[in-house]
Amino acid sequence: MTHPEILLKQVPLFRSLPLDESRRLAALLQKRTLKKGDVLFRKGDEGTALYMILSGKIKIVRQSRDGDEAILALLTSGDFCGEMSLLDDLPRSADAVAIEETQLYGLNRKDFLVYVLNNETAVRSILGALSRRLRKADDFLEDIFFLNVPARLAKKLIELAESGGFKENPSATIELTVTQRELAGMVGATRESVNKALRTFREKKLISLSGNTLQIHDVDALRKKIR
Ligand code: CMP
């Protein structure tokens, strides 16, 4: 079995800790496994722990009253979540839900505050990650202001492909299992407008759709849509 201090090397937040520090930290962590659909926490909950993802995928979402989802982020191996409410003492800012089986480590609030915030490397990592998130949120705002739905959708499909959201299949097309509802939630558009854009992409043979499986056939042509 792999020791937690070795697994911690997979987590960028703690990658540069010396081994003895990793060992001390590893002793404080609690491992959890979530099944697909399990809720890690809900918006408004009290923040009791920080979570580091070892494998699997977590979506960070805000829900409308009608049950529509705005997907703020998809987090995968090496990412962390739940730090905001520990840092600002406010309730959880969004829901965190597993979209496939996910293994993670939890670090409780007290240990986070005592151990992590007194470790310069970890503080730098957290600040770096928060800055990157803000940049991404700014980029997304810019897209909402200046790009239409087809352009935002093309951009998101390429981003998912590049970040490994797609599985390479034998015919070298890129495949993604995602619902149109989730895509709409990721680009900040209605399901109807995403549906319409997908139909156009399909007619132009840039993609194909079968059930929830979407295949990209022509990444370069998709890229040209981002104008
Ligand atoms: P917290 O507010 O404790 O609970 C929800 C978590 O979702 C939050 O901490 C962050 O870890 C994470 N989160 C919120 N907004 C974003 C975002 N825009 N991008 C990535 N992660 C986010």
In angstroms, how far is CA 136 from the centroid of its own chain?
12
Fold annotation for 147-226: Arc Repressor Mutant, subunit A (1.10.10)
Among 61, 93, 136, which residue has the most ligand 1 atoms within 8 Å of its CB, making it the best to mutate?
93
60 lines ligand 1 (CB under 6 A): yes
- For the chain, which residues make up each domain, given as ranges? 4-145, 147-226
**Predicted local confidence at residue 2, as pLDDT:** 60
CA of 193 to the centre of ligand 1 (A): 27
CA of 81 to the centre of ligand 1 (A): 6
According to DSSP, the β-strands at 69-76 and 102-108 are: unpaired
Average pLDDT over residues 49-66: 93
CA of 197 to the centre of ligand 1 (A): 29
76 lines ligand 1 (CB under 6 A): no
Helix runs in the chain, H state only = 4-7, 19-26, 84-88, 109-115, 120-146, 149-162, 180-187, 191-203, 219-224
Instruction: Give the phi and the psi of residue 100 in degrees, each rounded to 5.
Output: -155, 175
According to DSSP, the β-strands at 102-108 and 49-55 are: antiparallel
Predicted confidence (pLDDT) per residue in 69-113, tens digit: 999 999 998 899 999 999 999 999 999 999 999 999 999 999 999
Q: Which helix (H) or strand (E) holds 59?
A: strand 57-63
CA of 92 to the centre of ligand 1 (A): 8
73 lines ligand 1 (CB under 6 A): yes
Rg of the chain, C-alpha, whole Å: 19
| Reduced 3-state DSSP string for 144-198 | HHHCCHHHHHHHHHHHHHHCCCCEECCCCCEEEECCHHHHHHHHCCCHHHHHHHH
Contact 39, 94 (CB under 8 A): no
176 lines ligand 1 (CB under 6 A): no
Residues making up the chain, counted from first to last: 227
Architecture of domain 4-145: Sandwich (2.60)
94 lines ligand 1 (CB under 6 A): yes
Rounded percentage of the chain residues whose pLDDT exceeds 90: 54
Confidence of residue 6 (pLDDT cuts 50, 70, 90): confident
